[in-house]
Homo-oligomer: A and B are copies of this chain.
Amino acid sequence: MGETYEAAGVSIRAGEDAVAAIKDDVRSTFRPEVIGDIGGFGGLFRFDPSRYRDPVLVSSTDGVGTKAQVATATGRFDTIGLDLVAMCVDDLVCSGAEPLFFLDYISVGTLDPAHVKQLVAGVAEGCRRAGCALVGGEMAEHPGTMAPGEFDLVGFAVGVVERDRMLTGERVSPGDVLVALPSPGLRSNGYSLARRLLFDVAGRSVDDPAWDGAGAPTVGEELLVPSVIYAPFIRALTEAVEVHGIAHITGGGLPGNLNRALGERTDAVVDPGSWEWPRIFSELQQLGSVSTDEMRSVFNLGVGMVVVVPSEAAHRAVDTLRTAGTRARIIGEVVPGDGTVRFDD
């Protein structure tokens, strides 16, 4: 008997089963612009040129980092797809763009169709929340180089914005107000440090009970709290209120992301007393005596998105966001400067 691809660890059959298992989830995301079905050489999305004067396609790619390892250790694969969509589409909306479509790439050690179905169900749920169609994807089996149960998840999102409505930082002006949207957990950033603190420094495991005040019963589930997808809230906001800038707070925290929404002639001054860190962040800080500066430059600390609005629109912005379904609060202001984020400690 000769050697086969199957014997080398790649199962064509498991791939076909996995595609069959995800079809309904994928189709549930289709917008009217989607042409065809899954299985073609490319995802197909009609773009109506009469709807735009000078459209700009905005695109973004991101992964879920080592949050994937927490999912594997915990055995929960149904929510990390939400994190993936959040990471990608919430970058898009910072330009003022409407998300149109999404693609996912899943690499696994061993292709388990039930496992893939959970991952894609999460991605599809995220796409429905964000209003974008899941038009394509790839499943790659990497036997020998990834352990069974191990996976990586990468996403790509494309959106569109009219060029003259694109947010570039130019509109941000001294006197503008910073409106923060809350994040209950780490989103998908800082997991290498969080895992080191919890598992290496403190010697805990994912099945250990979480700390007092945690929203989830175990350390693993607390770490897996899914990322909020802000895209629908931001869309509701930009339709109702003049917005000068938007920043998605991911790796780099407020200092490394809010600066990207500023122009070159303004600073953002954040009042650290204006909100309380979700409990997980204080817990992580204590475990490793992590400095507050380090915490701020690694984690979102409870602020996942910042919207910059004129001061006279601030309260309407908070009300609009609340009506759209999220809390929001003012955490600081814009002053003359050079594009830096400062904390008013």
> Residues of A at under 8 Å CB distance from B?
1-5, 7-10, 12, 35-36, 39-47, 49-50, 52-63, 65-66, 68-69, 91-92, 94-95, 97, 100-101, 103-105, 107, 135-138, 140-145, 150, 152, 154, 156, 158-160, 163, 166, 168, 190, 192-193, 195-197, 201, 247-248, 252, 256, 260, 287-291, 294, 297-298
Contact = CB atoms under 8 A, between A and B. Distances in A.
A195 B9 CA distance: 11
Copies in the complex: 2
A193 B41 contact: no
A9 B50 CA distance: 49
A313 to B, nearest CB: 22
A159 B47 CA distance: 12
B196 A7 contact: yes
Given A4-B290, A43-B60, A44-B56, 19 more contacts: A2-B294, A5-B190, A8-B195, A8-B197, A35-B56, A39-B260, A40-B95, A42-B60, A42-B95, A43-B59, A44-B57, A44-B58, A44-B166, A47-B56, A59-B156, A66-B145, A68-B145, A107-B152, A144-B195
A59 B103 contact: yes
A128 B159 CA distance: 24
Nearest to A248: B41
A307 to B, nearest CB: 13
A41 B105 contact: no
B260 A61 contact: no
A155 to B, nearest CB: 9
Nearest to A10: B192
A59 B294 contact: no
Contact of A192 (B8, B57, B61, B135): B8
Given A42-B95, A43-B58, A197-B3, A138 B63 contact: yes
Contact of A10 (B140, B154, B193, B197): B193
Contacts of A288: 2-3
A47 B41 contact: no
A104 to B, nearest CB: 7
Nearest to A147: B145
Contacts of A290: 2-4
A58 B33 CA distance: 12
Nearest to A299: B5
B136 A61 contact: yes
Contact of A45 (B54, B56, B201): B56
Nearest to A140: B63
A47 B55 CA distance: 6
A66 B144 contact: yes
A291 B57 contact: no
A316 B150 CA distance: 50
A41 B192 contact: no
Contacts of A195: 8, 144
A115 B294 CA distance: 27
Contacts of A44: 56-58, 95, 166
